Structure 1
Amino acid sequence: MLIKEYRIGLPMSVEEYRIAQLYMIQKKSREESQGAGSGVEIIVNEPYKDGPGGSGQYTYKIYHIGNHLPGWFRAILPKSALRVEEEAWNAYPYTKTRYRCPFIEKFLLEIETKYLNDGGEETNIFNLKDAADQQRVVDYLDIVKDPIPSNDYKREEDPKIFVSQKTGRGPLTESWREEYSKANRDPDKKHSCIMTAYKLCRVEFRYWGMQNKIERFIHDIGLRKTMLRAHRQAWCWQDEWHGLRSVISADLNSKHREH
């Protein structure tokens, strides 16, 4: 098992990020539900108590990913390989998500997240006691400085360029995290807020001869690359989600009831 803790900062509050997150889930769900053999099936959506993070909302979903694969590849794979099962415990600002694929029995991806209004200074936010967990790799993601593949680049999603029409925030400099972290510690400058998503990611792919390579690939491409792009979007899409808290919540609740 390869364990990494990603720390992703954004110049906004934890409460603002919650709105951005709901909006992005809604938007991406619509995009992924297009085409045959695609979409998200919500099997369970119910509150829980005394679970991960205390009390929150539990969901069990099945992602049908057929339309994301070439036709010839889909033809040789069993149906169980075209679906990913997701269990999620949402007790925001704490969440836990677990992914499995029935076709790959020895695969597990688990993401435990805590959101704090800070600059990522916490040393052991998950209270890790196991020796293997404590040897985790800590990786800071920077939405401004970290490079992204050229085919993923969009000018309108570049924090170095983006300026919000609704909030007036941006563009961000390469030293934004240090600047906002310093301002966040100053009681007279609390408007310069910063939050960090601490994500403890465990990846296990227990197949001899492939384990290390596949686990690194999942971390580098499936997780780090995806999270970096998503958080760049969370910042640069703020004119779309700013002030939409009640609308988004009502729409999501309606969709859950339909399932």
Structure 2
Amino acid sequence: MQEEAWNAYPKCRSVVKLPYFSKFFMSVDTIHKADNGYSENVHGLSENQLAVRQVEFIDIASAATDYWSYVVGRNNVDFSNFQSARCGRGPLLEGWQDLCNPVMTTYKLVTVDAPYWGFGSRLEQALMAGERSLFLESHRNCFAWIDEWFGLTVEVLRELERQSDYALNMKLGRPCSAESWMTQEESPLEGEKSVA
């Protein structure tokens, strides 16, 4: 599996390819907006794309109990009782999306194409379910761990990203310099690139 990711906040893009399945394609396009999740067509899709799009709302205050949430893992934080010690955010009660301020929505556009007879559509469905669980758990963790990152400077966050990228590449047996990220001029999204 080969994944490329570009981060140019508030937009991000990840592309996954499988070298042994050359027709397989998966991308995740992300847009972060300071709203409560009701913006229409933030990805600028065409009429044809809108016709086949499926919209799902993922509420981080809910906890999934399906197969994929078991595979991905899950924290046991009850957000109806959670409150950040550093910034006072929380708890997340019924209707929190319309009551909390500030609030941010992460709009994800997942595109999967596995044009393989016999198993392609099942693979696409499984990947979409897995991505949904991954998004839910990742964003639940982001909120649950708010006291660990709230107030950090962009410079500190970038250094943590570099360290994480370096550690991952070392674990994968691809030694690289922590400074070897693509420059902003080289990135298709005018941001940084990390290959994992």
What band does the TM-score fall into relative to the shorter chain? 0.7 to 0.9
TM-score (norm 2): 0.74
Distance between the aligned counterparts of 2:5 and 2:106, measured in 1?
Answer: 17
| Aligned equivalent of 1:193 | 102
Do residues 160 (structure 1) and 80 (structure 2) align? yes
1:164 to partner: Cα distance: 1.2
**What is the correspondence of 1:1-259 to structure 2 with a 5 Å cutoff?**
84-149=1-66, 151=70, 152-155=73-76, 157-180=77-100, 192-221=101-130, 223-245=131-153, 246-253=155-162, 255=166, 256-257=178-179
1:91 to partner: Cα distance: 1.8
1:212-234 Cα distance to aligned partner (Å, 9 max, x none): 2111110012x000100000000
TM-score (norm 1): 0.57
Unaligned runs of 5+ in 1: 1-83, 181-191
Matched residue count:
163
- Amino acid aligned to 1:174: E
- Stretch of structure 1 that moved more, 238-247 or 202-211: 238-247
Distance 1:163 1:148, change over 3 A: farther
- Amino acid aligned to 1:163: Q
CA contact (8 A) 2:162 2:179 kept: yes
| Aligned equivalent of 1:42 | none
RMSD: 2.1
Aligned residue for 2:55, secondary structure, equals strand
Aligned residue for 1:141, secondary structure, equals coil
- Amino acid aligned to 1:114: I
| Aligned equivalent of 2:191 | none
CA contact (8 A) 1:95 1:112 kept: yes
CA contact (8 A) 1:113 1:199 kept: yes
**Identity score, percent:** 32
1:166 to partner: Cα distance: 1.1
Distance between the aligned counterparts of 2:56 and 2:152, measured in 1?
Answer: 32
| Aligned equivalent of 2:185 | none
Structure number with bigger Rg? 1
Distance between the aligned counterparts of 1:251 and 1:237, measured in 2?
Answer: 15
1:253 to partner: Cα distance: 4.5
Higher fraction of strand: 1
